[in-house]
Structure 1
């Protein structure tokens, strides 16, 4: 749970700066957020969470 919240905050911060620098249009940001929201409600959510957790656990071993 703590990893998920921190990743949401990180991606939100990146999205904010992309919007602020006008690298990303508001429409594209809305589409990306919508895609993430709907992806989380599919069967792909669990493998993505497992992959992210494995990646976070592997980083200290590099």
Structure 2
């Protein structure tokens, strides 16, 4: 749970800076957020969470 909250905060921060630097339009940001929201409700959510947790654990062990 803590990993997913941290990733949400990280991706939100990246999205904020992309919008601020005008590298990403508001429409694209809406599509990216919608895609993430709908992806979380599919069967792909669990493997993505496991992959993110494994990568973070591997980085922590370095």
TM bin (shorter chain): over 0.9
Q: What does residue 43 of structure 1 align with?
A: 43
Moved over 6 A (4+): none
Q: How many residue pairs are counted as aligned between the two chains?
A: 62
Q: What does residue 5 of structure 2 align with?
A: 5
**TM-fit CA distance, 1:38:** 0.3
Structure 2 stretches of 5 or more lacking a match? none
Pick 1 or 2: higher relative contact order, CA cutoff 8 A, min separation 6: 2
Structure 1 stretches of 5 or more lacking a match? none
Q: TM-score when scaled to structure 1?
A: 0.95
Q: TM-score when scaled to structure 2?
A: 0.95
**TM-fit CA distance, 1:18:** 0.3
